[in-house]
Amino acid sequence: MFDLRSHKKNILLTILLLAESGLLVLLFFSMTFFTELPFTLKNSQTTANPFVTLSEKDLSKKISKMKTQNSTLEKQINRTVAGQSYLVVNVSTNKFRLFTKGEMVREGLCSTGTNVLLTTDNEKKKWFFSTPKGMHTIIGKTTSPVWIKPDWAFVEEGLPIPPANSDLRYEYGVLGDYAMSLGHGYLIHGTLYKRFLGMPATHGCIRLDDEDLEVVYTTMSIGSKVFIF
């Protein structure tokens, strides 16, 4: 018989041990464990009990394997960043962590994409507001950034879309004192809406409060990596 309480106990124990191992294990867990999910679902169609209650010995082996994989992943990340500062952003919790020489020097709340779909009335244009996951690179930095409003900003407000060079597209003072570009229109910048930090509230950019933004801006350089998961 399937022992649900024992199964939950195994899951909680695994999560606790993963949490103690640090952020990189959680990164590995989120990127690799769930890639095995389709296999589990496939098996569940052909068996009455898709879950397996692990023995302490098997659980210990799996944790040991994850720790080994975590160590490998950590080495890969260290080779990738080559001693540089880097930023890790969790779009599920809307939190960030800033690392320098492998040590966390700052953490806090941020806002990321809402995962909302916007369409024009005739449905000829569509925009999906998500923050892209994966490894990204800071390709540009600027102070006192000016927001050049894209078409969707006018569609969202129910306004006609102006010409590309219209003065209506330029909005000052809404992105904070600093901005860092990840390319393809995605920025790390400040916000007027600090009450939404810790929530999915953006059109894909990453928003930080003023103090966090200044620290991240001064710590990160062009070429620094941003890991979003």
Rg (CA), the chain: 21
pLDDT at 206 > cutoff 90: yes
**pLDDT 10s digits, 65-87:** 888 887 777 777 777 787 889 99
Give, as one character, the DSSP assignment of residue 36. G
Angle ∠(91,94,98) on CA atoms, nearest 5: 95
| Four-point Cα dihedral 130, 16, 3, 54, nearest 10 | 100
pLDDT band at 51 (very low <50, low <70, confident <90, very high): low
Q: How many other CB atoms sit within 10 Å of the CB of residue 103?
A: 8
Domains and CATH numbers, the chain: 4-81 (no CATH), 86-228 (2.40.440.10)
pLDDT at 18 > cutoff 60: no
